[in-house]
A = this chain, B = another copy of it.
Amino acid sequence: MGQDLPSDAPLAVVWRRDLIESVHRGRYAVHSLGGKNLDSLGDPAGYVYLRSTAKPFQALPLVFSGAADTFGITSEELAVACASHNAEPKHLAAVRSILGKAGLSETDLQSGAHPPVHAPAAARLARSGEKPRPIHGNCSGKHAGMLAVCAYAGWDLARYRDPEGPLQKLIRRTVAKLCDLEPNAVRLADDSCGVPVFALPLLNLALGFARLAAGCEDFPEDLSKAVRRIRDAMRAHPYMVAGTGRFATLLMQCTDLVAKSGAEGVFAVGSPEGWGLALKVSDGAGRAVAPTVLAALGRRGVQVPRRMRSFPVADLHGRVVGEVAPLIH
């Protein structure tokens, strides 16, 4: 093996009646705006692929380039540009609207196709006999935003995913800036939708979300204004950032946090109080994310309604046969 595994620890277990059936390990870091480690489990310096937790950063050029103002992109549309959305009707309408305002259409999307994340939306599409198209992919808002920047700047639309093209290089510099790193310390690979994905130390993701939520006043004015607008859009439209039943949406609806999910068990949260939390479930399991994040947030004094803190395991008859329970208290 060419790489050491970052140290981790058990985060949550899956009970089935009175025995533990499965266990999820991972690591998290809570970092302050000032760069102080407020809480952590496992190695906070180990690299993590941000996956979709990078989307709020990836959407910043849409604002600071001037594209959003020129095209009249609304706050709801900015939120869907930061989204891993459910492909519910409102999400699809917002993505189409971004494309239309930039003089583009669905056929410009190169996000790859997968069925809608939201099961009822997926079932509706399947019943209709239509195949999933790129717009149904959870990343289509991000891609629409990327295309809009290219349309505004006069960059080659067909090459908007190119890691060596002007847009993706700008995004990499932006991610690095927000997360307090040199661009070449941000490592690259390929995300599922075909754009570059970024890897950086977990604590830098936490810091990036602290800045997203609480501001970064020492940044150039256009960038710090863009950060505020993205944050405000996500806060104003949590439904657009994910959708019905999704944890990031529910968490933003009942707190003052900014929250974003990523594939492979990554989650990031920013607080207006000036701290950020970043989590990586080592095995990538989504079911460990909400119990762990809520337990770690509880340690910061963040409370959510009781119904959000229940993670039953049900059988096919709807009977509760177990539960997912955090090990952090």
Chain A residues packing against B (C-beta within 8 Å): 1-3, 5, 10, 13-14, 16-25, 47, 49, 111-114, 123, 126-127, 129, 137, 187-194, 197, 199, 264-265, 282-285, 315-317, 319, 321-322, 327
Contact = CB atoms under 8 A, between A and B. Distances in A.
A92 to B, nearest CB: 17
A19 B1 contact: no
6 closest Cβ contacts across the A-B interface?
A112-B316, A17-B189, A126-B126, A283-B283, A22-B284, A190-B321
A16 B197 CA distance: 10
A1 B192 contact: no
A24 B25 CA distance: 9
Contact of A14 (B16, B113, B284): B284
B188 A264 contact: no
A325 to B, nearest CB: 8
A150 to B, nearest CB: 19
A69 to B, nearest CB: 31
A114 B22 contact: no
A226 to B, nearest CB: 28
A35 to B, nearest CB: 24
A113 B315 CA distance: 10
A197 B18 CA distance: 12
